[in-house]
């Protein structure tokens, strides 16, 4: 039941376009015996069906600029190749700390940077 609840909230956040990994990865680290690398791998596989559903909803509501998305996809593919290569080679404790710092920076920016 615990994993279902984690998935449920992760799905809500993913559907909003915020990134379910911000919920999924820390939750799996806290409530399971999985390693950082395992939780990141699970996050990537869970992301596929959740993003497909969210993509369909956003497509129906005409919220996608395909020309912009294409450029971001190309950059994202290159970044994913580099990032995943680094992630499998880096010490898991360092990886966990880097992810924590990233989440902290995102949280601070959301609190203090004014957005319209």
**pLDDT per residue over 59-111, tens digit each?**
999 999 999 999 999 999 999 999 989 988 999 889 889 888 988 998 898 88
pTM for the predicted model, two decimal places: 0.70
Question: What share of the chain has pLDDT > 90, as a percent?
Answer: 34
Percent of the chain with pLDDT over 70: 97
Cα-based distances in Å from 107 to 11, 40, 63: 19, 20, 25
Residues 50/14, Cβ–Cβ less than 8 Å: yes
Give residue 116's pLDDT.
63
């Amino acid at each position: 039941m615990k994993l279902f609840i984690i998935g449920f909230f992760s799905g809500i956040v993913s559907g909003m376009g915020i990134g379910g990994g911000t919920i999924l990865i820390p939750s799996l680290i806290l409530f399971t015996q999985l390693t950082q690398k395992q939780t990141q791998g699970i996050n990537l596989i869970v992301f596929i069906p959740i993003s497909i559903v969210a993509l369909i909803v956003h497509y129906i509501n005409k919220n996608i600029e395909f020309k912009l998305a294409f450029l971001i996809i190309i950059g994202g593919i290159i970044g994913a190749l580099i990032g995943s290569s680094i992630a499998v080679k880096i010490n898991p404790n360092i990886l966990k700390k880097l992810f924590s710092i990233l989440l902290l920076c995102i949280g601070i920016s959301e609190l203090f940077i004014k957005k319209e």
